[in-house]
């Protein structure tokens, strides 16, 4: 194998690896810009920079666009002088950052692949090392890669991909993500999502000392010696043979004013159950209550169907909001962070029946009760 062929083959492999990872990472973030926004806010809080909250959403869209376009450009060989440099700068910033996160763990999930693929902080760092090596090789040999179309016209392709991914992100913000990677997606059984993925298995061993010889020996729980035989207990050891992996939906509660958890009652309701999620009543779209939600709730009540609101706001804020917006239906508290994972809208509506998610709507797209009754509810 000659040197030229080796470099060419390695360059292609590096471009494919780098391009696919960047395209996938950029796309899954563009699908759910609000998810990336919440992750950036976690970072800002961890580093004492919460004053940057207002730019979290624009930053999420900009970074996902850059990541996607850089990935496409490197894979297709578009404007390599800029795309290879962009990839190099990207990894030059995020690789040290992920090392810091892996060591100090200020956030439990870096969010590099959104909710589509959650990996540990150390796995993220190791992945970035490989991607950094690939992009360094690409940058060093960038002049070997010829333009796909022409030096000038390649800009048109870059511009088209940039505009498409930006408009796609905006659409997913103004509606709901076109792909839902979260446990509350339509069709999921929430009771199953509340079960641990893997239970912890612990093996115990016991250390005893022989009172006559001074010898120490380890025994399993099934073979413990008797004190009558001259053995004295010294210590116990635990060996975790299987790590505990929590449920996708963990510690979710629906709490009333008296502190009782009503989650099982509402989520497991054998009849149709409407749940309006408004994680912060002070920031929710009040107009949607007056234009759509109040009428839907009233008609659901006429059919003896349950309609509730879940919010992270205080009960004082709930009382004030109910009177100001004439919303007589019941409100319950839940963790605001967990509510954000249910539906990317404030407010957003979900329809359930017997633990199963039947539908989800952004407040802009909430259908009328009659539409729901004739279409979705008729077939379930």
In the 8-state DSSP scheme, what is residue 337? H
Q: Note whether residue 258 is domain-resident.
A: no
Dihedral (Cα; 313, 314, 320, 325), 10-degree rounding: 30
N-to-C CA span, the chain: 63
194 pLDDT tier (thresholds 50, 70, 90): very high
Residue 89 has pLDDT above 90, yes or no: yes
Section 101-123 average pLDDT: 84
Query: For residue 195, is it within any domain?
Result: no
Question: Is residue 306 within 8 Å of 329, Cβ to Cβ?
Answer: no
Q: Tell me how many domains the chain contains.
A: 3
Residue 375 has pLDDT above 80, yes or no: no
pLDDT per position as a tens digit, 20-73: 999 999 999 999 999 999 988 988 888 888 898 999 999 999 999 999 999 999
Q: What pLDDT is stored for residue 1 in this prediction?
A: 58
Q: State residue 191's pLDDT score.
A: 96
pTM: 0.86
Give me the pLDDT at residue 153, please. 84
Q: Beta strand 348-353 with 306-311: parallel, antiparallel or unpaired? A: unpaired
Q: What pLDDT is recorded for position 280?
A: 95
Confidence of residue 150 (pLDDT cuts 50, 70, 90): confident
Q: Would residue 111 be called left, alpha or beta, if left means φ above 0 and alpha means ψ between -120 and 50 degrees? A: left
What is the Cα–Cα distance from 57 to 297, expressed in whole angstroms? 31
Let me know whether 150 and 207 are in one domain: no
Q: Give the pLDDT band (50/70/90) at residue 3.
A: confident
**159 and 281 inside one domain:** no
Q: Which of 174, 192, 225 is the last residue of a domain?
A: 174
The pLDDT assigned to 59 comes to: 94
Across all residues in the chain, what is the average pLDDT? 91
Other CB atoms closer than 10 Å to residue 6's CB: what's the count?
10
> Both tokens of residue 120?
């540990």
* Structural domain includes residue 231: yes
Per-residue confidence (pLDDT) for residue 289, from 0 to 100: 94
Q: Within this chain, do residues 295 and 373 fall inside the same structural domain, yes or no?
A: yes
- Among 357, 265, 342, 271, CA closest to 311: 342
pLDDT tens readout for residues 263-276 = 999 999 999 999 99
Q: Give domain status of residue 282, yes or no.
A: yes
In a domain, 370, yes or no: yes
Paired strand residues for 310: 277, 332
Strand ranges (DSSP E) for 280-345? 306-311, 331-333
User: Is residue 256 in a domain?
Assistant: no
pLDDT of residue 316: 93
> Residue 183: inside a domain, yes or no?
no
pLDDT > 80? residue 227: no
Same domain, 146 and 290: no
Last residue of a domain, one of 174, 193, 213: 174
For residues 167 and 295, membership in a common domain is answered with no
The pLDDT score that the predictor gives to residue 380 is: 66
Residue 149 has pLDDT above 90, yes or no: no
Half-sphere exposure of 224 (CA within 13 A, CB side): 12
Task: Give percent of the chain above pLDDT 90.
Answer: 67
Same domain membership, residue 126 and residue 269: no
274-307 pLDDT tens trace = 999 999 999 999 999 999 999 999 999 999 999 9
Give the pLDDT score at 148.
Answer: 76
What is the side-by-side strand order in the sheet with 272-277?
331-333, 306-311, 272-277, 348-353, 356-362
How does DSSP assign 107-154, residue by residue? SS---TTTTT----HHHHHHHHHHHHHHHHHHHHTGGGSPPSS-TTTH
Per-residue pLDDT for 7 more than 90? no
Q: Which residues are 273's β-sheet partners?
A: 306, 352
153 and 101 housed in the same domain: yes
Choice among 30-34, 141-145, 365-369 with the minimum mean pLDDT: 141-145
Q: How confident is the model at residue 378 (pLDDT cuts 50, 70, 90)?
A: low
Q: Do 208 and 342 sit in the same domain of this protein?
A: no
Which range, 202-206, 213-217, 273-277, is most confident? 273-277
Looking at the structure, do residues 155 and 296 belong to the same domain, yes or no?
no
pLDDT in the model for residue 46: 83
Residues 109/118, Cβ–Cβ less than 8 Å: yes
| Same domain membership, residue 330 and residue 205 | no
Domain CATH code at residue 287: 3.40.30.10
Q: CB atoms < 10 A from the CB of 232, how many?
A: 11
Task: Give me Rg for the CA atoms of the chain.
Answer: 27
For residues 205-234, give the mean pLDDT. 85
Mark whether 52 and 148 lie in a shared domain: yes
Domain that holds residue 270: 263-379
Does 182 reside within a domain? no
Instruction: Specify whether 34 is located in the same domain as 160.
Output: yes
């Amino acid at each position: 194998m000659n040197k030229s062929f080796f470099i060419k083959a390695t360059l292609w492999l590096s471009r494919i690896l780098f391009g696919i990872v960047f395209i996938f990472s950029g796309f899954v973030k563009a699908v759910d810009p609000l998810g990336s926004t919440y992750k950036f806010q976690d970072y800002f809080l961890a580093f004492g920079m919460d004053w940057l909250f207002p730019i979290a959403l624009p930053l999420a869209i900009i970074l996902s666009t850059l990541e996607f376009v850089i990935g496409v450009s490197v894979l297709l060989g578009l404007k390599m002088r800029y795309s290879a440099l962009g990839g190099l700068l990207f990894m030059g910033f995020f690789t040290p950052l992920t090392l810091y996160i892996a060591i100090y763990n200020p956030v439990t999930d870096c969010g590099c692949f959104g909710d589509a693929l959650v990996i540990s902080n150390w796995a993220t760092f190791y992945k970035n090392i490989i991607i950094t090596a690939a992009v360094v090789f690409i940058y060093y040999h960038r002049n070997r890669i010829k333009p796909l179309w022409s030096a000038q016209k390649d800009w048109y392709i870059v511009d088209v991909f940039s505009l498409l991914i930006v408009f796609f992100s905006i659409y997913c913000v103004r509606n709901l993500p076109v792909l839902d990677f979260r446990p509350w997606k339509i069709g999921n059984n929430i009771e199953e999502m509340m079960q641990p993925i893997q239970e912890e298995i612990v093996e115990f061993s016991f250390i005893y000392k022989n009172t006559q010889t001074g010898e120490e020996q380890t025994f399993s729980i099934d073979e413990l010696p008797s004190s009558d035989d001259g053995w004295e207990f010294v210590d116990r050891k635990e060996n975790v043979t299987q790590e505990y992996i929590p449920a996708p939906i963990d510690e979710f509660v629906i709490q009333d004013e008296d502190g009782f958890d009503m989650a099982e009652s509402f989520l497991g309701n054998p009849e149709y159950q409407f749940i309006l999620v408004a994680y912060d009543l002070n920031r929710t779209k009040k107009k949607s209550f007056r234009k759509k939600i109040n009428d839907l709730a009233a008609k659901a009540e006429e059919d003896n169907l349950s309609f509730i609101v879940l919010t992270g706001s205080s009960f004082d804020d709930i009382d004030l909001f109910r009177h100001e917006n004439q919303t007589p239906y019941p409100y319950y508290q839940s963790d605001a962070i967990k509510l954000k994972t249910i539906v990317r809208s404030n407010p957003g509506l979900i329809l359930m029946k017997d633990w199963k998610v039947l539908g989800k709507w952004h407040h802009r797209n909430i259908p009328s009760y009659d539409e729901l009754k004739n279409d979705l509810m008729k077939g379930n």
